[in-house]
Amino acid sequence: MNRLNISPQGFGSLPALEVLDLTYNNLNENYLPGNFFYLTTLCALYLSDNDFEILPPDIGKLTKLQILSNRDNNLISLPKEIRVLTQLKELHIQGNCLTVLPPELGKFADE
């Protein structure tokens, strides 16, 4: 609840970070730093109540994610790279502008 519109650049110096909550800000896909998706130990990522229209394809690099919360943004699509998030247990995408879900989400129903 800080109303950030640019996320901090220092994510690369947090190699053991497991939970990151950036809920209730003014962030969008254009203002995530390049090293954001190198948080390979991240298990829970909360990006709800921001201004995301898309999730960058690099979301697939966060292979240890178990919780991904993107509710109440402006999401119009989800990247196909979401299929590589095999540890994902919770995906919160309610309150967005999605009209279809990617077929890649169907693979989670088979597991």
- The three-state DSSP-derived secondary structure of the chain is CCCCCCCCCHHHHCCCCCEEECCCCCCCHHHCCCCHHHCCCCCEEECCCCCCCCCCHHHHHCCCCCEEECCCCCCCCCCHHHHHCCCCCEEECCCCCCCCCCHHHHHHHHC
10-68 confidence digits (pLDDT tens): 776 788 999 999 999 999 999 888 788 889 899 999 999 999 999 999 999 999 999 99
Show the domains of the chain with their CATH numbers: 11-106 (3.80.10.10)
Has this prediction a pTM greater than 0.85? yes
Question: Across residues 79-100, what is the average pLDDT?
Answer: 94
Tell me, what's the pLDDT at 103?
A: 82
Does position 90 have pLDDT exceeding 80, yes or no?
yes
Tell me, what's the pLDDT at 109?
A: 55
